[in-house]
Amino acid sequence: MPPLLKDIKDQFAPENPFFKHAQIASFIAKSGGKTVGRITAIHNEAHIDFSREKAGFFGFFDCVDEISAALPLIEKARQWLKQKGMVVLRGPMNFSSNEEWGSLIEGFDESPMIMMPYNFPYYKDLFENCGLTKAKDLFAYIIDIPDKLPEKTYRVASIAEKHGVKVRPLNIKAFDEEMATFKSIYNSAWGKNWGFIPMTDEEIDHMAEKLKPIIIPDLTLIAECDGEAAGFMMLLPDFNFALKKLNGRLFPFGIFKALWYSRRIKDLRILLLGVKEKYRRRGVDAFMFIEGLKTIKKLGYKRAEFSWILEDNYPVQKIIGMAGGRLYKKYRIYEIEI
């Protein structure tokens, strides 16, 4: 499914706050006068400062099924990052783990949901033939919204209620204040995840403004305990269902198509579910999850994708399993020494 050209232009625009702590270099491969591949090398100082790891990244990879095209692209990215002092190349990610990342390796029979990548099946062999190896797998689960959740799911959530946890929807009229709440949760909730790259306040504000038009307040939940924000959950309708009809162009007439198809969306994606470290093991995540599924059912959605989940994030996988979720897609992060 082609991305909106406007979104790509905005992402690469110098005004993107990502570029205040990162530099990129883009390369294309040509054969016989035709473009056969592309890649962007990414030097993210925020990742280096946070992780103390000299890792560079690559993204926006697209290539024909030929090692003669792919290998020079990977080598160009390695050489550029070597000049920056990096010792490992990792990806794909566009531009970081806070955006689209991973290469699909299983689950090609269904279209990607909103803000999830898609690629040709041959990429796996192409990357491996270029010498890249697995760094980590990311999972996507699909949940057919049940009439009633299993009883054990409610038992887990009841732990949160006993600890005085309350869940409320986002107040869209106080959007800036709610985003300040999200910022207070973000680093603590996701900071120890593999591949985590912190976002600056400017980056969060930039992303929030992009998402604001499609946010449904009842599907964006905030958990509170003793008057303090404890967790955050965001679900987004799968607007890819509408956007894939536009061939990457919203104007001049695509916007009318998008509005028409958006009324027929029956799937959504659970984009974020995080709990501050000090509130974990209190059932907060399960409580938000259940409240989210209740709202999904009330609004008439049929399926929810929960993505992405680290392959070794067993606590979250357990909660998803309790709700009847099944693993239906796998994405891979690759790496190679520089």
CB 199 within 8 A of CB 182: no
Determine the 3-state secondary structure of 309 from DSSP.
strand
pTM greater than 0.85: yes
Nearest Cα residue to 117 out of 213, 2, 211: 2
Nearest 5°: the CA angle 271, 243, 292 is 25
Return phi, psi of residue 203, to 5°: -65, -40
Q: How far is CA 129 from the centre of its chain?
A: 27
Beta bridge partners of 57: 42, 90
Per-residue pLDDT of the chain (338 residues; tens, 9 = 90+): 556 667 788 899 999 999 999 999 999 999 999 999 999 999 999 999 999 999 999 999 999 999 999 999 999 999 999 999 999 999 999 999 989 999 999 999 999 999 999 999 999 999 999 999 999 999 999 999 887 777 777 777 788 888 889 999 999 999 999 999 999 898 889 988 999 988 899 999 999 988 888 889 999 999 999 889 999 999 999 988 767 655 544 444 444 344 434 567 899 999 999 999 989 888 888 889 888 988 998 898 999 999 999 999 998 898 889 888 999 999 999 999 99
Kindly give, in sequence order, each residue whose CB lies less than 8 Å from that of residue 112, ignoring residues fewer than 6 positions away: 1, 104, 118, 240
Beta bridge partners of 26: 40
Hey, do 5-137 and 143-330 end up sharing a CATH topology, with the first three levels equal?
yes
Return phi, psi of residue 264, to 5°: -105, 10
User: Is 3.40.630.30 the CATH number for 143-330?
Assistant: yes
Cα 219 to Cα 197: distance, rounded to the nearest angstrom: 25
| Domain assignments of the chain as residue spans, ordered by start | 5-137, 143-330
Cα 32 to Cα 35, 36, 69, 270, distances in angstroms: 8, 9, 12, 44
CATH for 5-137 is 3.40.630
